[in-house]
C-alpha cells in the first residue's frame, strides 16, 4: 500500500515505480495522471525525469512531444541524451514517419484531446510496443469535439488506457491510485493527518466523489494540511 506523498519528488518517485511495475506486469497502454495546478508548465522537466527512470531502454526509448516546437526545445535544452526525442507530427507529417523498428517504448508528454486521433493511430501501428502517456490533459475528452463520431472516438480511446498512477490533491482530501492498489480517497481529519475513507477498484467520480467529500474536515483545518502541501507543490513547480 503506497504512503501518501508529502512532496512533488515523492509523488514523481511513486509514479515512476508504478510505471515500472505496470510494464513488468505486461501493461502497454499506460497513463500517469498528476492532477496538480500548473503541472503542464513542468512537462519538459517531468519528461526528462521519467525518461531517465527508463534508462534501461537506451535508444529504444523515444520521448514524444505533441508538437515539433516542444520537441526542438527539449533537444536544445537536453543536448545529447541516451534516448531519442520526437514529436507526433502534423497535418503535413503523418505519424507513420515518426516511428522506427528500433523503438521499444514511447513516452508521450502531456497529450491533449487534439492528439487523440494521432495517438490512437500510433496504438494501431505498434500494437505490442508499450506507450506511456505522461500527465495527459484528457479530462473532458468524452464531451469535447464535434458530433457523435468524435465523442465515440474519444470514449473508445479512453477505454484502452490503464491508469497506473493517479494523484489529485484537493481541499481536505486526496485521491490516489498506484499500480497494484485500488483507488483510494483520503480525508483530512486533523492538521496534516488523513483517514482512508474509500477503497475500490472503480475510480471515484461524479456523485460518488461528491458524497465522499461531503464528509468534510472541521472548518478550522481548511487552511492547513493539504493546502500547505499544495503550496509546496506549486513552489516546486515554479523552481
**How does pLDDT run across 73-95, given as a tens digit for each residue?**
999 999 999 999 999 987 778 89
CATH superfamily entry for domain 8-166: P-loop containing nucleotide triphosphate hydrolases (3.40.50.300)
In the predicted model, what is the mean pLDDT of residues 144-169?
78
Looking at residue 137, what DSSP letter applies? B
The kind and range of the H/E element at 104 are none
Q: Which residue has the cell 509546496?
A: 232
CB 178 within 8 A of CB 204: no
Say how far apart CA 162 and CA 150 lie, in whole Å.
21
The structure's pTM equals: 0.87
In the predicted model, what is the mean pLDDT of residues 199-213?
87
Q: Which residue has the cell 510496443?
A: 129
Say how far apart CA 11 and CA 13 lie, in whole Å.
5
Q: Supply the Cα-derived Rg of the chain in whole angstroms.
A: 19
What mean pLDDT, rounded, does the chain reach?
85
The C-alpha cell of 71 is what? 520537441
- For CATH 3.40.50.300, the residue range(s) in the chain are 8-166
CB 177 within 8 A of CB 163: yes
Residue 143 pLDDT: 45
In the predicted model, what is the mean pLDDT of residues 176-181?
96
Of 24, 22, 66, nearest in space to 44 by CA: 66
Amino acid at each position: 500500500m503506497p504512503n501518501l506523498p508529502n512532496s512533488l519528488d515523492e509523488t514523481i518517485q511513486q509514479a515512476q515505480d508504478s510505471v515500472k511495475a505496470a510494464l513488468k506486469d505486461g501493461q502497454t497502454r499506460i497513463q500517469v495522471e498528476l492532477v496538480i495546478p500548473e503541472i503542464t508548465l513542468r512537462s519538459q522537466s517531468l519528461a526528462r525525469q521519467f525518461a531517465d527512470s527508463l534508462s534501461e531502454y537506451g535508444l529504444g526509448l523515444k520521448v514524444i512531444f505533441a508538437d515539433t516546437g516542444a520537441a526542438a526545445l527539449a533537444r536544445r535544452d537536453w543536448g545529447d541524451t541516451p534516448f531519442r526525442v520526437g514529436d507526433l507530427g502534423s497535418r503535413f507529417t503523418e505519424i507513420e514517419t515518426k516511428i522506427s523498428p528500433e523503438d521499444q517504448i514511447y513516452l508521450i508528454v502531456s497529450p491533449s484531446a487534439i492528439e487523440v486521433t494521432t495517438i490512437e493511430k500510433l496504438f494501431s501501428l505498434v500494437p505490442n510496443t508499450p506507450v506511456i502517456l505522461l500527465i495527459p490533459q484528457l479530462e473532458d475528452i468524452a464531451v469535447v469535439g464535434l458530433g457523435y463520431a468524435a465523442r465515440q472516438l474519444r470514449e473508445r480511446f479512453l477505454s484502452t488506457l490503464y491508469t497506473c498512477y493517479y494523484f489529485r490533491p484537493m481541499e481536505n482530501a486526496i485521491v490516489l491510485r498506484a499500480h497494484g492498489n485500488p483507488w483510494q480517497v483520503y480525508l483530512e481529519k486533523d492538521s496534516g493527518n488523513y483517514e482512508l475513507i474509500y477503497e475500490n477498484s472503480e475510480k471515484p467520480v461524479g456523485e460518488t466523489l461528491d458524497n465522499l467529500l461531503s464528509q468534510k474536515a472541521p472548518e478550522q483545518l481548511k487552511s492547513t494540511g493539504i493546502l500547505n502541501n499544495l503550496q509546496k507543490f506549486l513552489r516546486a513547480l515554479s523552481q
